[in-house]
Amino acid sequence: MKVLIAGGSGFIGRSLIDRLVQAGHTAVILTRRPAMTDIPPNPSIRSLHWDARSVGEWWQVVNDTDAIINLAGEAIAAKRWTVAQKDRISTSRIDATRTVVRAIEKATRKPKVLISASGIGYYGDVREGDLDESSPHGDDFFARLSLQWESEALRAEKHAVRVVTLRTGIVLHPGGGAMKKFHLPFKFFVGGPLGPGTQWMSWIHREDAIRAMLFALENQSLSGPLNITAPYPVTMREFCRTLGSALRRPSWIPVPGFALRLVLGEMADVVLKGQRAVPRRLLQAGFSFKFPQLEQAMSDLMS
């Protein structure tokens, strides 16, 4: 299969591309960089330049593409959330998704499937109860963004393209994402839960996240939203306790929510809010998790 990956140069994309190539597929990365010089030379991987906002010459590759995976968007926790940064977080996702769908519209031969990123933030801040793909969306910044992000992707259905939106939880791997940020304070013996500790964290081992994406790619009966989360979410307190014990460090210095808000501003919501998402549709479709429990995942990730 030839797979086009928008935003394939990031934390999830790089690992996904490795796995696609191992499975015998070829990957074309859409990147804003003039050239991707940091990918190992491989005849199965190439990169094309785009600006993530307009349909340039690159669109022609869509005629020759079996599947598109869209991961592009401004990093969420890289900078303080000023009004301008929040706007970049939203606009980059909406524009990139709209641009991918416009390229599909233009292509004379359409891809069979579009797999497009979203997040469990879709559900908003929910303290109690399991959230599956039929649960309603929330009404905060992320929930509204995810709703719009998904509806841009779903426009490709008009062109008989199967669309899957990935409501991904916190992807765990020491190479990046949330774990890289949590790791440092624990390493220096000052780790502990952020905020009340009772907020839910819907996490997933990166390997399972990639396996679930390949499952969605190949399983033609799947369309619509998919929760990409492990079946057993944990509270923030439990997450920190498990991380501490995998690192042989105590989890003992809680950081109160007000202090986080002082330091991080509104971005603190990323860790202070939570939801208990469950991968109902993946399990119903027969997906089996390699790391369903956090302890197994942590001990693998730390080994």
Ligand X SMILES: NC(=O)c1ccc[n+]([C@@H]2O[C@H](COP(=O)([O-])OP(=O)(O)OC[C@H]3O[C@@H](n4cnc5c(N)ncnc54)[C@H](OP(=O)(O)O)[C@@H]3O)[C@@H](O)[C@H]2O)c1
- Provide the token pair at 110: 């359409």
Near ligand X by CB under 6 A, which window of 68-76, 103-111, 125-133, 218-226? 68-76
Q: Is 74 in the site for ligand X (CB under 6 A)?
A: yes
Check if the beta carbon of residue 50 is closer than 8 Å to that of residue 102: no
Question: Nearest distance from residue 149's CB to ligand X, in Å?
Answer: 8
Q: Is 71 in the site for ligand X (CB under 6 A)?
A: yes
Near ligand X by CB under 6 A, which window of 72-80, 192-200, 270-278, 294-302? 72-80
Report the distance separating Cα 228 and Cα 166, nearest Å.
6
Contacting residue, 19, 25, 86, 88, with ligand X by CB under 6 A:
88
Residues 197-236 as x/- pattern, contact with ligand X by CB under 6 A: ----------------------------------------
Question: Nearest distance from residue 139's CB to ligand X, in Å?
Answer: 19
Phi, psi of 101 (to 5 degrees): -70, -35
Beta-carbon count within 10 A of 180 CB: 12
Beta strands in the chain (DSSP E): 2-6, 26-31, 45-49, 67-70, 113-119, 162-168, 170-172, 200-201, 203-205, 224-228, 234-235
Tallying the residues shown for the chain, one arrives at 303
Report the distance separating Cα 242 and Cα 239, nearest Å.
5
Question: Nearest distance from residue 109's CB to ligand X, in Å?
Answer: 25
Residue with smallest beta-carbon separation from ligand X? 10
Report the distance separating Cα 192 and Cα 186, nearest Å.
8
Backbone conformation region of residue 224, classed left if phi is above 0, alpha if psi is from -120 to 50, else beta? left
Check if the beta carbon of residue 36 is closer than 8 Å to that of residue 101: no
Window 162 to 181, contacts with ligand X (CB under 6 A):
168, 170-171, 177-178
Report the distance separating Cα 12 and Cα 90, nearest Å.
19
Question: Nearest distance from residue 189's CB to ligand X, in Å?
Answer: 25
Report the distance separating Cα 177 and Cα 253, nearest Å.
22
Report the distance separating Cα 228 and Cα 285, nearest Å.
13
| 177 vs 195 by CB, closer to ligand X | 177
Phi, psi of 163 (to 5 degrees): -120, 130
Residues 120-159 as x/- pattern, contact with ligand X by CB under 6 A: ----------------------------------------
Interface with ligand X (CB under 6 A), residue total: 26
Near ligand X by CB under 6 A, which window of 11-19, 219-227, 241-249, 272-280? 11-19
Contacting residue, 10, 185, 196, 231, with ligand X by CB under 6 A:
10
Check if the beta carbon of residue 251 is closer than 8 Å to that of residue 218: no
Q: Is 46 in the site for ligand X (CB under 6 A)?
A: no
Question: Nearest distance from residue 293's CB to ligand X, in Å?
Answer: 18
Near ligand X by CB under 6 A, which window of 70-78, 97-105, 182-190, 260-268? 70-78
Q: Which residues bind ligand X (CB under 6 A)?
A: 7, 9-13, 31-33, 52, 71-76, 88, 92, 96, 117, 119, 168, 170-171, 177-178
